[in-house]
């Protein structure tokens, strides 16, 4: 610890001026979301257009925030809504209560409810916070509906019907290289995720090298290095 050590801070801070930025200019551009992202829910349908929900209320039962309200009803014999005996007659999620824990998704026996990657839905009316079945159910092409106050960006509406077990199956702590995603409409099953073993230390902890790598993906006008 010499007297000149106090000056090292000046060198470090000065050097930073010429380093690339990795700040994302959020509203202008968005970073890709992680595959397991928990956004707002969607109610999925089969390829023939039938709804997957059978009105069993397991999701409502498991919900710790008590934000789901479901009422099941018998399928009308001439125009069945779902392939089984019953269907979700009323389905409402209150997003002022939902904590996006994904337990409803795990509880669902038919994979009817999954979470999309949309989290930017700033409704300005408390009534808009309650999403009804008409709003939650996916369109005919399997993609989520867009409500007026929702900010969907390109790619956000992809891969929304799959779900992944949040906890490891009993006895198997190591999930590396295993397929845990349910099959998805139009996408099939996703590739197993890479684990953390054998990870290069430089990659595992944030460092200047990693920052440079990240900066290479960010356009110059936002402070990065990608041209």
Partner 1 sequence: MTTAVPMTPRIALVTSDPVFAHGVDLTAVLIVVVKVLLAFGLLLVSVILMIWFERKLISDMQNRIGPNRAGPWGLLQTLADGTKLLLKEDLLPERADRVVYRLAPFLAAIPAFLIFTIVPIGGAVHILGHTTLLQVADPPIGILFLLAMSGVGVYGLMLAGWASGSKYPLLGAVRASAQMVSYEAALGLSVVAVVLVTGSLTTSGIVGSQAPHVWNWNVIRLGIVPFVVFLIAATAELNRPPFDLAEGDSELVGGFHTEYTSWLFSMFYLAEFMNTISWSAIMVTLFFGGPDGPVFHVPVLNFLMPIAWFAVKTFAFLFLYVWFRAALPRFRYDQLMNLGWRYLIPISLGWLLVVAGFQISLAVGAATFGAAVLVALVLPRAFAVGKARHEESGGHDFDRVGG
* 205 part of the interface to partner 1, by CB under 8 A: no
The one among 3, 12, 170, 173 contacting partner 1 by CB under 8 A:
12
The one among 1, 17, 134, 173 contacting partner 1 by CB under 8 A:
17
- The two tokens of residue 134 are 């008409």
Find the angle CA(56)-CA(58)-CA(63) to the nearest 5 degrees: 145
Q: SS3 letters for 133-183?
A: HHHHECCCCCCCCCCCCECCCCCCCCCCCCCECCCCCCCCCCCCCCCCECC
What is the torsional sign of CA 158, 114, 169, 110? negative
- Binding range to partner 1, per CB under 8 A, among 14-22, 64-72, 93-101, 185-193: 14-22
- Binding range to partner 1, per CB under 8 A, among 9-17, 69-77, 82-90, 181-189: 9-17
Contact string (CB under 8 A) for partner 1, positions 21-50, x = contact: xxx-x-------------------------
Are the C-beta atoms of residues 188 and 174 closer than 8 Å to each other?
no
Binding site for partner 1 (CB under 8 A): 6, 9-10, 12-14, 16-17, 19, 21-23, 25, 222-223
């Amino acid at each position: 610890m010499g007297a000149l050590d106090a000056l090292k801070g000046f060198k470090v801070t000065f050097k930073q001026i010429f380093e690339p930025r990795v700040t994302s200019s959020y509203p202008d551009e968005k970073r890709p979301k992680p595959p397991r992202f928990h956004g707002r829910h969607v109610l999925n349908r089969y390829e023939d257009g039938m709804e997957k929900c059978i009105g069993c209320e397991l999701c409502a039962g498991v919900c710790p925030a008590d934000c789901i309200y479901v009422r099941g009803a018998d399928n009308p014999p001439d125009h069945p809504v779902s392939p089984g005996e019953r269907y979700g007659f009323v389905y409402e999620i209150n997003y002022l209560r939902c904590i996006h824990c994904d337990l409803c998704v795990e509880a669902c026996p038919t994979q009817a409810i999954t979470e999309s990657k949309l989290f930017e839905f700033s409704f300005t009316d408390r009534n808009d916070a309650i999403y009804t079945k008409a709003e939650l159910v996916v369109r005919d092409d399997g993609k989520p509906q867009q409500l007026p106050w929702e900010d969907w960006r390109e790619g956000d509406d992809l891969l929304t019907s799959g779900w992944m077990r949040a906890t490891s199956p009993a006895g198997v702590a190591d999930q590396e290289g295993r397929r845990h995603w349910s099959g998805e409409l139009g996408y099939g099953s996703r590739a197993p995720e890479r684990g953390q073993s054998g990870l290069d230390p430089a990659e595992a902890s944030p460092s200047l090298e990693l920052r440079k790598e990240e900066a290479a993906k960010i356009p110059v006008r936002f402070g990065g290095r990608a041209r």
